[in-house]
């Protein structure tokens, strides 16, 4: 995270205490343990901060938060791997990392079971994680293996320099066929786990373009500027064109049943970014899994 202007000139330990609600002593301990980096390097507690410097802080996990244990994840494949990054094609029903209440498989478990060593810069239960996909959203994820890659990729996602492209099958036909949804997102007032377009929420921008139109649905290519939780699902529902099969956000269960879709039709089809250590642009693509491809075949046959 960038150092805010209001902390310019502050001691590092005092700034960490203010930002995270810690005691000055605990902040100093984190710094001494190497859990605080300023512009990618360890610093002393008495160092003075400059506004705009990049701050990486690793906080200990809260009590009871599970840590990833090696366990094979059927259907997950490694698309690319080198010394710094690993790109995976995530199957349905898999989350990025362990969370309280989740008992299913995780991307981290699968990679650890395959012998992949990931960055330890983040929290223990989120090794190498620089972005996430919903459990029932399939497609491409990149994880950091080296500490440098973790820092560079986290910044790239925050600064919106990563090209994230999704395909979504939505109900009906958006009008216009190509457009941008710029609407803030926050937790739904109902407090039931959903998110919604909410005044005062976090800025969220989604670009969409119609790829193929069917009688009852449209295949969209979607590019994200921001990466809010459930962003595509929320924005499409706000347009009254929810992702097919996304019952949480008001999709028609009859259409989903007819097409054989048992989750939201949403796939991270393309991922491009500047390689964190080599500087070259890399891009990866993923084909549709069988359930999503089968739904398109049924639509084309109507």
Give the active site residues: 134
Token match 């039709």: residue? Answer: 265
Distance in angstroms (rounded) separating the CA atoms of residues 204 and 182: 6
Distance in angstroms (rounded) separating the CA atoms of residues 132 and 225: 15
Helix (H) or strand (E) holding 299: helix 290-301
Distance in angstroms (rounded) separating the CA atoms of residues 90 and 188: 27
Judging by beta carbons within 10 Å of its beta carbon (0-12, 13-18, 19+), is residue 161 exposed, middle or buried? exposed
Contact present, 202 and 153 (Cβ < 8 Å): no
Contacts of residue 33, defined as CB under 8 A and 6 or more positions apart, other chains included, come to none
Distance in angstroms (rounded) separating the CA atoms of residues 218 and 216: 7
Contacts of residue 181, defined as CB under 8 A and 6 or more positions apart, other chains included, come to 204, 205, 206, 207, 208, 235, 238, 239
């Amino acid at each position: 995270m960038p150092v805010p202007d209001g902390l310019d000139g502050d001691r590092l330990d005092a700034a960490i205490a203010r930002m995270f609600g810690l005691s000055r002593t605990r902040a100093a301990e984190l710094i001494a343990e190497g859990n605080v980096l300023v512009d990618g390097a360890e610093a002393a507690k008495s160092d003075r901060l400059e506004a705009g410097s990049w701050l990486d802080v690793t906080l200990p996990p809260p009590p009871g938060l599970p840590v990833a244990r090696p366990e094979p994840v059927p259907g997950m494949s490694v698309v690319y791997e080198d010394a710094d990054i690993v790109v995976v094609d995530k199957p349905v029903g898999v989350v990025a990392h362990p969370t309280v209440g989740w008992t299913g498989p995780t991307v981290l478990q699968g990679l650890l079971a395959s012998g992949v060593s990931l960055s330890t810069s983040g929290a223990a239960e989120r090794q190498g994680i620089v972005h996430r996909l919903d459990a029932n959203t399939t497609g491409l994820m990149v994880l950091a293996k080296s500490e440098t890659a973790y820092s560079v990729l986290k910044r790239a996602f925050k600064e919106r320099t990563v090209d994230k492209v999704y395909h979504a099958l939505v109900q009906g036909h958006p009008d216009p066929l190509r457009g941008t949804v710029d609407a803030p997102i926050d937790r739904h007032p109902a407090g039931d786990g959903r998110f919604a377009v909410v005044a005062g929420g976090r800025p969220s921008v989604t670009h969409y373009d119609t790829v193929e139109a069917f009688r009852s649905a449209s295949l969209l290519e979607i590019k994200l500027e921001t990466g809010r939780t459930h962003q595509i699902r929320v924005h499409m529902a706000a347009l009254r064109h929810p992702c097919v099969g996304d019952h949480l956000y008001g999709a028609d269960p009859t259409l989903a049943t007819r097409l054989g879709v048992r989750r939201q039709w949403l796939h991270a089809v393309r991922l491009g970014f500047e390689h964190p250590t080599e500087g070259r642009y890399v891009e990866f693509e993923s084909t549709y899994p069988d359930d999503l491809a089968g739904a398109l075949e049924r639509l084309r046959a109507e």
